[in-house]
Amino acid sequence: MRLFLFLLGFSCVGFPILAQTKSSPVKVSGGLNAYAGLYTASGLAARNQTSPFGLSGSVTVNLPGGISLPFSAVLGNQGSSFRQPFNQFGVSPTYKWATVHAGYRNVTFSPFTLAGHTFLGGGVELNPGKLRVGAVYGRLNKAIASNLAEPDIIPSYSRTGYAVKVGYGKPGNYVDLVMLRAKDDSLSIGPVAPTAERTVNPAENLVVGATSRLLIVKHITVEFDAAVSAYTRDLRSSVVSGEGKSPVVRFFGRFFTPRLSTQLTQATQAAIGYRNKIVGLKLQYKRIDPNFQTMGAYYFQSDIESYAIAPTLTMLGGKLNLVGSYGVQYDNLGQNKNARTGRTIGSLTASVNPSAKWGFDLQLSNYGISQQAGVRPLIDTLRLAQNNLSATVNTRYTIQTNEVAHIITLTTTYQKLSDLNTNTAAFTENTNTNLNLGYFYQQTVTGWGLNAMLSYTETGLPAAVVIPGADSISRTVRFFGPTLGGTQAFLNKKLTTSFNVSYLVNQQNGVTGTIINASVNGGYQVAKRQTVSLNLGYLNSNTGLAEQRFNELRGNLGYGITF
């Protein structure tokens, strides 16, 4: 903390801090900001201090090798805080084909083995030529014990592990074999009593996988990721012994002891694609067993099987681009759930640019979900069967010269949720339509800019919606109104100003309300690294109900210096 304040104080006198060697400099940069403001409100409880003021600062130390150390502090009548990176500090310096990891790091070897889990430890990745070798070791979880003072804390055992990778190839065209082993220390915390919400037991995991990205022939690529995970949910369960084990089982038995609570699961995803300058096609497949887990990743969506196709088309010299996809996904792979849920996902994106002046984009997506009976018959009133359609069209027209630019945009979005179950449709079906017409004007020389927007939103509520206290029900809610803003620079662009004001009308159940939101901002560059700023904001909300009317006024005067 003393070092941080020293750096801030030293920077305020206007001297940059720079420690430099012949090979690479150590640079320190940052800033200091002081602010004072005002706040007043009527019609609701105050959401800020009446006279907020404070001091904030930040310092970033950049060391050789790409190491960055950020510090920040805030002190004021709204609270104080101090942040520094040393709670989780790590480095990964690289020299030619060698990278060393130390401290808190997250490394990915493959999607189903070591996939970005943060660990405290060390490791190395070596890529001489086409050889690909990697190894990491460290603590994956810190021991956390429950106590009476913090009853909501989730206990966890100390977990350590390692992962190794051996492969051949170059980025974009390689094959890697990966193994991860991790284990909890059952003595790192005391006994944990099970509760109705959760049971915490020491666990162990061994994952063996392969990952590859291959260019088979020109324009054809293959992607493949697979892993087998042996996960023991309780290290205290009995050991399982077997006879006549294969050499492969005996080999991996040196690293892992199977128990009664051990579950063997697998995950696979593969894709093959073709792409040239005009067309492209990609076929994808994924299957992840129920309860598949790896201690090298935080979360997996398990119990799914999916198929997808994704075509692309580029025509007219790049002026027309089409990207589409369609896929289906199912769960209940173990056939032990009450219902099997199926999903269909389709999308299409089209971009048309006949000239640099105008063009439009079209986005369509259709998401469907349905259920089939599993181990038990489905109840019709509870069966899930829905379809969600979304369509967006964005049109733009540009007029640009060396001094002035005019841009006109029109964006339309339509969304509809259809419930195919007649027993629940009245509670879920809804539609939403949104239109935005915008105009943007910018003078490149003077810095004068103007933007105007007119928006309209209409939402159709479900038929069975009930609004408390309403005499009659209108299931259509509308929001519409204009927004106007502008920017202007003065005094050789040392003084920058901007304003923004919006007027929004909302209509619901025969009641009309308005919301006015306005702001004015200004900044003046006192010196090369010093700026004075002034910000004012006003909010008036009148929804048409007396108990929901309120006004707010905010103001802020600030002074900042950077180094």
Tens-digit pLDDT profile for residues 387-443:
889 999 999 999 988 889 999 999 999 999 888 777 777 778 889 999 999 999 998
For the chain, give the mean pLDDT.
86
Q: Among 302, 323, 349, identify where a domain stops.
A: 302
Radius of gyration of the chain measured on its C-alpha atoms: 30
Q: In terms of domains, do 98 and 207 share one? A: yes
Tokens of 396: 């733009």
How high is the pLDDT of residue 7?
37
Q: How confident is the model at residue 4 (pLDDT cuts 50, 70, 90)?
A: very low
Checking if the pLDDT of 66 tops 70, the result is no
How high is the pLDDT of residue 348?
96
Residue 536: inside a domain = no
Task: Tell which residue, 292, 281, 362, 284, has the closest CA to residue 320.
Answer: 362
- Among the ranges given (59-63, 295-299, 374-378, 459-463), the one the predictor scored with the smallest mean pLDDT: 374-378
Residue 199's alpha-carbon distances to 28, 156, 174, 303, in angstroms, are 48, 10, 41, 21
Q: In terms of domains, do 225 and 290 share one? A: yes
Q: How confident is the model at residue 373 (pLDDT cuts 50, 70, 90)?
A: low
Residue 63's alpha-carbon distances to 27, 67, 70, 91, 496, in angstroms, are 7, 5, 11, 11, 35
Task: Tell which residue, 114, 106, 125, has the closest CA to residue 227.
Answer: 114
Mean pLDDT of 45-63: 88
Residue 465: inside a domain = no
- Among the ranges given (14-23, 205-214, 428-437), the one the predictor scored with the smallest mean pLDDT: 14-23
Half-sphere exposure of 525 (CA within 13 A, CB side): 12
Q: How many domains does the chain have?
A: 2
SS3 216: strand
Mean pLDDT of 535-562: 90
Task: Tell which residue, 232, 229, 233, 216, has the closest CA to residue 178.
Answer: 229
How high is the pLDDT of residue 172?
87
pTM to 2 decimal places: 0.77
Cβ-based neighbours of 115, under 8 Å, separated by 6 or more:
108, 109, 294, 296, 297
CB distance 343 to 329 below 8 Å:
yes
Q: How confident is the model at residue 467 (pLDDT cuts 50, 70, 90)?
A: low
Q: In terms of domains, do 136 and 225 share one? A: yes
More confident call, 195 vs 298 = 298
How high is the pLDDT of residue 265?
93
Residue 215: inside a domain = yes
Residue 493: inside a domain = no
Cβ-based neighbours of 421, under 8 Å, separated by 6 or more:
380, 381, 383, 384, 385, 386
How high is the pLDDT of residue 283?
97
How high is the pLDDT of residue 16?
34
How high is the pLDDT of residue 244?
55
Task: Tell which residue, 421, 354, 352, 360, has the closest CA to residue 385.
Answer: 421
Q: In terms of domains, do 272 and 339 share one? A: no
How high is the pLDDT of residue 474?
61
Q: In terms of domains, do 251 and 355 share one? A: no
Residue 163: inside a domain = yes
Mean pLDDT of 170-181: 94
Residue 529: inside a domain = no
CB distance 347 to 324 below 8 Å:
yes
Task: Tell which residue, 527, 531, 529, 518, has the closest CA to residue 557.
Answer: 531
Residue 273: inside a domain = yes
Range of the domain at 365: 304-422
Mean pLDDT of 104-120: 93
How high is the pLDDT of residue 8?
37
Residue 82: inside a domain = no
Q: In terms of domains, do 123 and 161 share one? A: yes
Q: In terms of domains, do 97 and 223 share one? A: yes
How high is the pLDDT of residue 15?
32
Mean pLDDT of 307-318: 93
Q: In terms of domains, do 123 and 233 share one? A: yes
Q: In terms of domains, do 206 and 251 share one? A: yes
Residue 398's alpha-carbon distances to 363, 406, 413, 445, in angstroms, are 21, 6, 21, 18
CB distance 519 to 499 below 8 Å:
yes
β-pair type (220-232, 204-217) = antiparallel
Q: In terms of domains, do 330 and 381 share one? A: yes
Q: In terms of domains, do 295 and 339 share one? A: no
Checking if the pLDDT of 20 tops 60, the result is no
Cβ-based neighbours of 126, under 8 Å, separated by 6 or more:
97, 98, 99, 132, 133, 134
Q: In terms of domains, do 246 and 331 share one? A: no
Side chain identity, residue 51:
S
How high is the pLDDT of residue 216?
86
Checking if the pLDDT of 379 tops 70, the result is no
Q: Among 366, 390, 422, identify where a domain stops.
A: 422
How high is the pLDDT of residue 131?
96
Q: Among 269, 302, 335, identify where a domain stops.
A: 302
More confident call, 403 vs 252 = 403
Tens-digit pLDDT profile for residues 268-305:
999 999 999 999 999 999 999 999 999 999 887 889 99
Checking if the pLDDT of 484 tops 50, the result is yes
More confident call, 411 vs 190 = 411
